[in-house]
Amino acid sequence: MATVLHLTGPVLVGPEDVRDEAWVIDGRITYAAPAGDHDSQRIDGWVLPGLVDAHCHVGLGPHGAVTRQVAEDQATSDRDHGTLLIRDAGQPGDTRWIDERPDLPKVVRAGRHIARTRRYIRNFAWEVEPEDLVATVRQEARRGGGWVKLVGDWIDRTSGDLEPCWPADVLAEAIAAAHEEGARTTAHCFGEASLVDFAAAGSDCVEHATGLLPDTIDAFATKGIAIVPTLVNIATFPQIAAPAEERYPAYHRRMLALHERRYTTIRSAYEAGVPIYLGTDAGGSLPHGLVAQECAELVAAGLPPLAVLDAATWGARAWLGTPGLDEGADADLVVLPADPRTDVAAVAAPTAVVLRGVSY
């Protein structure tokens, strides 16, 4: 006899679509009460689609690729904190084995970072010069899961400051090549200048985007270029910049200034209509399972709670082409003790996490 999960609700199918109850049968969501004999397990609470971390690095550690066991531990930590869909925003290993594990979150991949030679963290990226950028983008577009990740800017030790990594014409050709291959593009960008080039080239997304100014905010909003702010990572800018204070004072000052205005930048982007999605930058130097903290940071930046929830659930899933609590969809959901639409802090304490119909 099959066991049915009875979700007593409220079930937040969408921002304005609230159902009284739902059931999970054979791993899928339904809003039709089951007929016939069955064992039923009741789960009380506010039901949300599984949380989305749209900038997460399963399989990445401080020094590059990690072992399979470490990657599994990272993914398990994300799952246990309610993150059931991940956009893996670049890492050097092969984590496609996760797709065969029904107990681990679903992953949308961007392949390996593509950086300018000696202009990114060692062992993270393919490091190439401009003449090889287009070919490398095509390679990663075919290798990834629908995304390509570029490193748009990094410290240039000649100028001693953040500088764009790519000539604008080459960047435009590379982004066009990714689109020809059926992939979307995103980019690591801290500073102001690189955002001008990525907007002009028609990138689909930018990570961090701390250098947005009124002109680039308007360009992003007009073109529908999304941002994933990763504010829990931006909070570490003073520590990142501190070792450079004496040798690269211009870089040090810029990083502190970007950090100081981070909330104003993201709030201005939101008010202008720039699409915003939630990401933590977990992996590398940050632990996994930080979605609740990033929700709190977006609220601190001035986004309404409902907009933050959309960035972490309904909107993010639609952006990544993955269903939420639709009839017949995989039952990937979290159950919360209170209404997260009025207090997003509720996402920090799920009373149940259900992935593919199995409760964890």
Are 328 and 29 within 8 A, CB to CB?
A: yes
Q: In CATH terms, is domain 3-48+324-359 a member of 2.30.40.10?
A: yes
Give pLDDT, residue 346.
Answer: 97
Q: What is the dihedral of CA 77, 83, 89, 91, to 10 degrees?
A: 20
Of 25-39, 147-161, 273-287, 333-347, the one with minimum mean pLDDT is 25-39
Q: Among all chains, which residue has been given the structure tokens 């959901």?
A: 333
Q: In the prediction, which pLDDT does 225 show?
A: 98
- Phi and psi at 289, nearest 5°, equal 85, 35
Predicted confidence band of residue 35 (pLDDT cuts 50, 70, 90) = confident
Q: How many CA atoms lie within 13 A of 39 on its CB side?
A: 5
- Comparing CA positions, the residue from 146, 195, 145 lying closest to residue 166 is 195
Computed over every residue of the chain, the mean pLDDT equals 96
Looking at residue 261, what DSSP letter applies?
A: T
**pLDDT value for 2:** 65
Question: Kind and range of the H or E element at 293?
Answer: helix 291-300
The reply to whether 51-320 shares the fold of 3-48+324-359 is no
pLDDT at 60 over 70: yes
In this structure, are residues 71 and 336 in contact, taking their beta carbons and an 8 Å threshold?
no
pLDDT band at 38 (very low <50, low <70, confident <90, very high): confident
> Residue 347 in contact with residue 338, Cβ under 8 Å?
no
For the chain, give every domain's residue range.
3-48+324-359, 51-320
Q: How far apart are CA 269 and CA 251, in angstroms?
A: 24
pLDDT at 36 over 80: no
Mean pLDDT in residue range 342-356: 96
pLDDT at 276: 98
User: 298-319: string of b/e by CB count within 10 Å (b at 16+)?
Assistant: bbebebebebbbbbbbbbbbeb
Q: CA separation (Å) from 16 to 32, 35, 237?
A: 20, 29, 37
**Cis, bond preceding 164 (omega within 30 deg of 0):** no
CA distance 141 to 110: 8
- Rg (the chain; Cα; Å): 21
Task: Give per-residue pLDDT as tens, 229-260.
Answer: 999 999 999 999 999 999 999 999 999 999 99
Class of the CATH domain delimited by 51-320: alpha beta
pLDDT in tens, 190-210: 999 999 999 999 999 999 999
pTM strictly above 0.85: yes
Could you report the per-residue pLDDT of 277-304, keeping only the tens digit for each?
999 999 999 999 999 999 999 999 999 9
Instruction: Encode pLDDT of 117-133 as tens digits.
Output: 999 999 999 999 999 99
Average the pLDDT over 30-38 and give the result: 86
Report the pLDDT averaged over residues 25-53. 93
